Amino acid sequence: MNSQAIALSNLNNSFHGTIQLTGSKSESNRALILQALSDGLIEVKNLSSAADTVTLNNLLKELSGVNSAGESTEISVGPAGTAMRFLTAYAAVKGTKVTITGSERMKQRPIGILVNSLLDLGAKISYSETAGFPPVKITGNFNQKTAKVKVKGSISSQYITALLLVAPTLSKGITIEIEGDLTSKPYVEMTLAMMGQCGINHTWHDNQVKIGAQTFKPSTITVEPDWSAASYWYSVAALCNDATIKLPFLKKDSLQGDNRIAEIMSHLGVETTYEEDGITIVNTGKKLDQTDFDFKECPDLAQTVIACCAALGYNATFTGLETLKIKETDRVAALQNELAKLNVTLTENNGSYFLDSEGKQIPDEVSFSTYEDHRMAMAFAPLALVINKVIIEDPEVVEKSYPHFWEDMKKAGFEIKTSELAKS
Ligand SMILES: O=C(O)C1=C[C@@H](OP(=O)(O)O)[C@@H](O)[C@H](O)C1
Ligand SMILES: C=C(OP(=O)(O)O)C(=O)O
């Protein structure tokens, strides 16, 4: 089978310039649901160009034409996890007759925890194929039975966000008891902060988050640029001999937990200066001064940081990677496979992953597979700064969150050629 790939090289090893990032996919997708629930009282500015956001926006428009009395319809979210989870809660409480499906991978990403909570609340919802996984079918009106639900916190924070977003529109509101550890906590905090901007109050004591029935106030949400996307520029800066990169409109006090890439990358020699109109990141030449990194609160940064450490020949230990196995691909397995091409290993021991990169001979040319995962492509692309020729297979995967990634890489001096790749 032949498939498209691109070959990247970068002989300059230096970049001084500005990169304009698109809006945060996470903030945008919350804003769209809030806007739809508020019947247009909420205005959204700087919406992301991410395919996941475009998809959600289109599907919300499509669903606005479907009512609970009419024919059932089927929609597909493709690979968009947040769209899958948020739309399931949205359609369930509206009683919209719809089957929500997605890509083949989406059908392997669990949704049972959310569906069980929606059933407890009073939704009419079932599975069309495999219990616990998409597609889900919403079959009728929602009559709220209870306000209280228990949600396991360690699998995905998106289930909690999905419930919180719809909570103010329910006559009894929702009180969520989070069971066990909460993963990706900053994403729940982002949800609550954005709802606060729209006039919705909450309480959060111990493991109980409560949102009562409330009305949205007319408001404007301005989406900040995407900090997860910024992480690839931190990697470029870390791998360049000489880099000063301006990323406009990113803020220190961000709603996005992935702003901790600034702190993480400070240990790899990249310094961040916060300015009125954005941030500037600079390679200071400092060597690794910390060897343990935890990604429980920022799982989307893991691939960037691990690939970057491997390229720099650093040994390090990583934790908080549990949820990576149920994302766009099994990201741990994907990392292990691709790092092996650099003669680097990532081995698990009791939930910790040890990266053994020191002194490894990196080949002159490496072709990286991307596993239908945007973050695999973007995490490995900057390695063209230390490898003569990097080939990225199926480069269009970046569209999911960062459609103009390759144009931005060209602006930064990467030479990019398309190539036909022979796959067995
Ligand atoms: O709520 C969100 O916008 C997201 C939450 C995180 O997922 P999990 O809560 O499943 O870790 C993150 O990985 C994903 O990219 C976006
Ligand atoms: C995990 C991700 O997205 P989602 O869960 O929304 O598909 C991601 O963007 O890295």
**Atom 2 of ligand 1: nearest residue by CA position:** 26
pLDDT in tens, 348-365: 999 999 999 999 999 999
Ligand 1 atom index nearest CA of 190: 1
Could you give the strand order of the β-sheet that contains 270-275, starting from the edge strand earlier in sequence? 14-18, 242-248, 278-283, 270-275
**How far apart (Å, rounded) are the C-alpha atoms in residues 55 and 16?**
34
Instruction: Copy the structure tokens of residue 367.
Output: 């072709």
**Atom 6 of ligand 1: nearest residue by CA position:** 184
Q: What are phi and psi of 17, to 5 degrees?
A: 180, -175
- Could you tell me where the DSSP H helices lie in 168-260? 185-197, 227-239
Overall fold of domain 25-222: UDP-n-acetylglucosamine1-carboxyvinyl-transferase; Chain (3.65.10)
Report whether pLDDT(44) > 70. yes
**Quick one: pLDDT band at residue 1, thresholds 50, 70, 90?**
very low
Question: How many other C-beta atoms can be found within 10 angstroms of the C-beta atom of residue 376?
Answer: 27
**How far apart (Å, rounded) are the C-alpha atoms in residues 48 and 226?**
8
CB 296 within 8 A of CB 187: no
**Quick one: pLDDT band at residue 422, thresholds 50, 70, 90?**
very low
- Residue ranges for the known binding site for phosphoenolpyruvate are 25, 81, 109, 158, 331, 375, 400
> Taking the domains of the chain in order of start, what are their residue ranges?
2-23+226-422, 25-222
Q: What are phi and psi of 378, to 5 degrees?
A: -75, -30
Q: What is the ipTM of this complex?
A: 0.99
Ligand 2 atom index nearest CA of 375: 10
Q: CA quadruple 176, 178, 190, 396: dihedral positive or negative?
A: negative
Ligand 1 center from residue 11 Cα (angstroms): 35
**Atom 10 of ligand 2: nearest residue by CA position:** 300
- State which amino acid sits at residue 150: K
Same fold, 2-23+226-422 and 25-222: yes
- Residue ranges for the known binding site for 3-phosphoshikimate are 25-26, 30, 156-158, 184, 300, 327
pLDDT for res 342? 98
Overall fold of domain 2-23+226-422: UDP-n-acetylglucosamine1-carboxyvinyl-transferase; Chain (3.65.10)
pLDDT for res 249? 98
**How far apart (Å, rounded) are the C-alpha atoms in residues 157 and 183?**
6
pLDDT in tens, 128-142: 999 999 999 999 899
Report whether pLDDT(400) > 70. yes
Ligand 2 center from residue 379 Cα (angstroms): 14
pLDDT for res 72? 86
**Quick one: pLDDT band at residue 50, thresholds 50, 70, 90?**
very high
- Counting Cβ atoms within 10 Å, is residue 126 exposed (0-12), middle (13-18) or buried (19+)? middle
Q: Is the pTM of this model over 0.90?
A: yes
Q: How many whole angstroms from its chain centre is CA 206?
A: 26
CB 307 within 8 A of CB 370: no
Ligand 2 center from residue 26 Cα (angstroms): 9
- Residue ranges for the known binding site are 25-26, 30, 81, 109, 156-158, 184, 300, 327, 331, 375, 400
Pairing type for strands 316-319 and 292-294 reads parallel
Which ligand is located closest to the Cα atom of residue 398?
A: 2
**Atom 16 of ligand 1: nearest residue by CA position:** 26
Question: How many other C-beta atoms can be found within 10 angstroms of the C-beta atom of residue 348?
Answer: 12
pLDDT in tens, 286-313: 999 999 999 999 999 999 999 999 999 9
The residues, ordered by sequence, that sit 6+ positions from 342 with a Cβ below 8 Å of its Cβ are: 310, 311, 357, 360, 362, 363, 366
